[in-house]
Amino acid sequence: MAPFPLPLNALFIKAGVYAIFLAIGFGFGYALEVSGFNDSPRLAAQFYFKDLRVLKVMFTAIIVAMVLIFASSALGLLDYNLIWVNPTYLWSGIIGGVIMGFGFIIGGFCPGTSLVAAATFKIDGILFVLGGLVGVTIFGETEKFFEIFYNGSYFGRVTLMDTFNLPAGVVVVLVVLMALFMFWGGEQLERIIGKKDLSKEPRLRYVGAGAILLAAIAVMLIGQPTTSDRWERLMPVKGAELTERKYYVHPGEVLKTFHDHKVEMVLIDVRSEADYNLFHLKDAINILPEEIPAHISEFIAKPANTIFIVMSNDETAATEVWKVMVAESVHNMYILEGGINNWLTTFGTAFEEDFCAGIKEGADDELRFEFTAALGSGCPAAYPDPEEYELEYIPKIELELKRAPSSGGCG
């Protein structure tokens, strides 16, 4: 497993985590201040194409961070699945961007730069921050009236790779090229409209542009790790634990966890739709193995107290899906021991005459119980009464430290 991002809450006490956040915030604010972002006329000048430093500084930060993130991921140092990506709320995002843009033009600051100006005791920055706090208060008190629109058009974690179906490395190169073209175009606007003498600009900027482009090309050539690559890195440890059957959970423990309100249990049934319709556990969701990758982000975003149980008719298909999900950084993953066939053998005997038309021989991962009808979760065996069973088993489920993406971003 990639060592980064670090689980700060586990490595440091709460005060230590806050100190790290404070240091990062101070560094970010200092970078904005030395870039001249505490001066509202200078910031507003970008909208008149006279001074494009905001474009240059922010896009430089974006492409440098992007190249470093995907380079670290390519080298196995960073788990990109655990990086927070702001979810997309399309229309509310567009409207919010328009409102912020007007505020930026009128006031000369965005929320982040206004804090930098306020920290240097600029009166306009302080007033902008106070106005922002008033706006936040008004929004908080009125959001309930337009909650449907605000939370509507939700697309989840969407990236350029998803949208254009391109490899991450290709997207990195294209974004860097776009940024460099914008830098060049911005300088031409500064020269024509702002009457800026470009001969006084440092020539070292060309070296930086070339270096970031070469780094982006290197990221593209190396490529991002596939699920198979990620599993290969984990296999020496996780493979041995699978052999020891550390993650195969007895049906009795699954039934007990059903009634444990301290945890959220997600049951993932990877069988065919036909088998799922014949019988499945209460609240189990049917996801075919090939559809699992599309749900990874959703699973990673689940609360830290979530337990995942994957099941097939026996164990083969479920084990393969377990490997994929573990490789993609879904924590607290377990497999139903013996699959649905074992579950029915354990809990279906008392109801056999009511729903079972017989038991047949079958190949591996085939349903060996024949049903009188497609009962789904309507059969009592789908959610047995735990008080009627006294089962002996070795407990396997324990909540593992979860390093999930946490929200963040720049205001």
Which CATH code fits 228-388? 3.40.250.10
| Cα-based torsion angle of the residue sequence 216, 217, 221, 223 in order, rounded to the nearest 10 degrees | 20
Contact call for residues 1 and 230 (beta carbons, < 8 A): no
Give CA–CA dist 322/324, Å, rounded: 5
Domain definitions of the chain by residue range: 8-226, 228-388
Nearest to 214 by CA among 247, 172, 249: 172
What are the per-10-residue average pLDDT scores of the chain (411 residues)? 70 85 92 90 91 92 96 93 88 92 90 92 94 93 90 87 94 98 96 92 93 98 95 94 96 92 94 95 97 92 92 98 96 96 84 68 89 86 86 90 57 46
Task: From 254, 290, 269, 299, select the one nearest 377 (Cα to Cα).
Answer: 269
Buried residues in 334-368 as b, exposed as e (16+ CB within 10 A): bbbbbbbbbbbebbbeebeeebbeeeeeeeebebb
Contact 273, 321 (CB under 8 A): no
* Proportion of the chain in helix, strand, coil states, percent, rounded to 5: 60, 10, 30
Which pLDDT belongs to residue 339? 97
DSSP letters for 47-62: GGTS--HHHHHHHHHH
d(CA 38, CA 118) in angstroms, rounded, equals 8
Cβ proximity of 170 and 70 under 8 Å: no
Residue 42 neighbours by CB under 8 Å, 6+ apart: 36, 51, 53
Q: Centre a 10 Å sphere on the Cβ of residue 103 and count the other Cβ atoms it contains.
A: 18
DSSP string of 232-276?
HHHHHHHHHHHHTTTTEE-HHHHHHHHT-TTSEEEEEE-S-HHHH
CB 219 within 8 A of CB 66: no
Are the beta carbons of 342 and 312 closer than 8 angstroms?
Answer: no
229-243 as b/e, with b when 16 or more CB fall inside 10 Å?
ebbeeeeeebeeebe
Q: Read off φ and ψ for residue 89, nearest 5 degrees.
A: -115, 95
What is the C-alpha separation between 294 and 271, in angstroms, rounded? Answer: 17
Q: Tell me, what's the pLDDT at 411? A: 46
Handedness of CA 193, 197, 200, 202 (dihedral sign): positive
Q: What is the pTM of this model?
A: 0.84
